[in-house]
């Protein structure tokens, strides 16, 4: 069984948590995949393109993999599962539930909604880019993630000090999915504190127990 890691917004497949998962898999001879989700590229990014690519990747695998989704990657993973993509287990790290709803309403993105473009710092590339109107036009069809039902084992890690994605989003998801496991960490959105990475390791061990 393989592990697929899905990175977050304005990030890439070589980030710190991806590297942590890659090393964990290498030590156990588990095949590891971390696709680049800047699709078709960051400046023309859409959630639809991400979900389509992830679904195709998962369906091409010989058996349903374990999927780890971080932030927007968690939202994309949940969307793919909701739409029928095969997964054995889902581990969500500060999943960006409510991303579309917040971006279509919150004041911080008002300029983007007005102009159709927005400067955004891309952490993987280390430079500022201009996010185009494609993401904005794509958001309305993804704003009902609070109605999704996922029929597979789901575990969530979310930091109590997360300022990017409200902890309440993960709490609401767990309330809708009684079988889901939510662990609240004393950490921020990055979930890179030693205790958070140790908790992630524990979830990975549990996922790959035969």
8-35 pLDDT, tens per residue?
999 999 999 999 999 999 999 999 999 9
pLDDT band at 209; cut points 50, 70, 90: confident
pLDDT band of residue 160 (cuts 50, 70, 90) is: very high
| Share above pLDDT 70 across residues of the chain, in percent, rounded to a whole number | 100
Q: How many CB atoms lie within 10 A of CB 59?
A: 12
The beta strands (E) that lie in 127-201 are given as 127-131, 154-159, 181-185
For residue range 128-141, list pLDDT tens digits in order: 999 999 999 999 99
| Residue 159, strand partner residues | 185
Residue 90 buriedness (CB in 10 A; 0-12 / 13-18 / 19+): buried
Going from the N-terminus, what domains does the chain have, and what CATH number goes with each? 3-207 (3.40.50.1820)
Structure letter (DSSP) for residue 156: E
Give the angle 105-123-139 at the CA atoms, nearest 5°: 25
**How many Cα atoms are found within 13 Å in the side-chain-facing hemisphere of 112?**
20
Strand partners, 156: 92, 182
Residue 210 has pLDDT above 80, yes or no: no
Mean pLDDT across 156-179: 96
- The pLDDT of residue 108 is 86
CA distances to 9, 54, 67, 75, 176 from 87, in Å: 22, 11, 7, 14, 19
């Amino acid at each position: 069984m393989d592990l697929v890691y899905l990175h977050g917004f304005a990030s890439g497949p070589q980030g710190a948590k991806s590297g942590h998962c890659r090393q964990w898999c290498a030590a156990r001879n588990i095949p590891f995949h971390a696709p680049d989700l800047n699709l078709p590229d960051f400046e023309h990014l859409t959630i639809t393109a991400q979900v389509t690519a992830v679904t195709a990747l998962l369906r091409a695998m010989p058996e349903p993999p374990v999927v780890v989704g971080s932030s927007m990657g968690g939202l994309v993973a949940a969307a793919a599962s909701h739409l029928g993509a095969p997964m054995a287990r889902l581990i969500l790290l500060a999943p960006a539930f409510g991303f579309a709803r917040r971006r279509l309403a919150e004041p911080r993105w008002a300029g983007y909604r007005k102009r159709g473009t927005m400067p955004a710092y891309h952490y993987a590339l280390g430079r500022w880019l201009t996010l185009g109107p494609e993401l904005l036009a794509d958001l309305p069809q993804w704003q009902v993630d609070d109605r999704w039902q996922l029929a597979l084992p789901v575990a969530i890690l979310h930091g109590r000090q997360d300022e990017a994605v409200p902890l309440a989003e993960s709490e609401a998801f767990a309330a809708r999915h009684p079988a889901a496991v939510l662990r609240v960490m004393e950490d921020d959105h990055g979930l890179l504190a030693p205790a958070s990475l140790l908790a992630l390791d524990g979830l990975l061990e549990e996922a790959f127990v035969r």
